[in-house]
Amino acid sequence: MTGTTESAEEVETKPASLPLPAPAAAEAEGDADEQERHSREIKAGLHPLKHKFVLWYTQRIPGVRSASYEDNIKKIMGFSTVEAFWFCYCHLARPSSLPNPTDLHLFKEGIRPLWEDPANCNGGKWILRFKKAISSRFWEDLVLALVGDQLDCADDVCGAVLSIRFHEDIISVWYRNASDHKALMVLRDSIKRQLKLPPSYAMEYKTHNLSLRDKSSYKNTRLRG
């Protein structure tokens, strides 16, 4: 990176720069790290993604309770390039072959797939329910849109979850700010376009605060057009 030089007079008369607030400083540092990562991966002949992602896996045995939900979440691998993504994705079992109940979580690095995570605690999720025979295609389309940064309001999307259940499969897209109603509607419409769903398809929505209160991801949801 090249910089500009300044004369002594300019330095003396320029107002002293103020220290960045902690969140802004952390964000600036993160941006610099991402730029360095992109440069390093391009030099290696790879194709960097805008964000790093981590794939997680959860399988619960019916009737058996573990110490906590977090204990069941297992990290599969992380990736930050197109090449690493396809290496990971091509070795995954198809959703139709996964046991019930199972969850696959694809989240940006640094965000755990938990309601209580600082990136998620003030947010919520859009919910889509599919017959088991067709869920794999919709999940793949959503994964490609998320990894490829194709969703509107993508910077505030935290991740996505595929929940394999006995009678249906459920896909949810987690967003960090439940109070931004306009952005939520934009994201909803973007999800419909990426998955080629009709505009009239009714999606469900639920905040993570409500999930924490009733201890359920998919009960007591609201239809949002």
Exposed, middle or buried, 143 (CB in 10 Å: 0-12/13-18/19+)? buried
Predicted TM-score (pTM) of the model is: 0.81
Give the containing element (helix H, strand E) for 93: none
Burial 42-69 (b: 16+ CB within 10 A, else e): eeeeeebbebbbbbbbbeeeeeeeeeee
Cα torsion at 59, 74, 215, 163 (round to 10°)? -50
Taking only the tens place, the pLDDT of each residue in 64-122 is 665 577 778 999 999 999 999 999 899 888 888 888 899 999 999 999 999 999 999 99
Just give the CATH number of 50-218.
Answer: 3.30.760.10
Q: What is the pLDDT of residue 67?
A: 56
**Cβ atoms 168, 131 nearer than 8 A:** yes
> Which among 56, 157, 173 is positioned nearest to 103, based on CA atoms?
56
Check residue 79 and give its pLDDT. Answer: 95
| Confidence at residue 21, expressed as pLDDT on a 0 to 100 scale | 44
As a whole number, the mean pLDDT across the chain is: 84
Tell me the backbone φ, ψ of residue 222, rounded to 5 degrees: -115, 135
Encode pLDDT of 183-199 as tens digits.
999 999 999 999 999 98
Domain ranges of the chain: 50-218
> Does 165 have pLDDT greater than 50?
yes
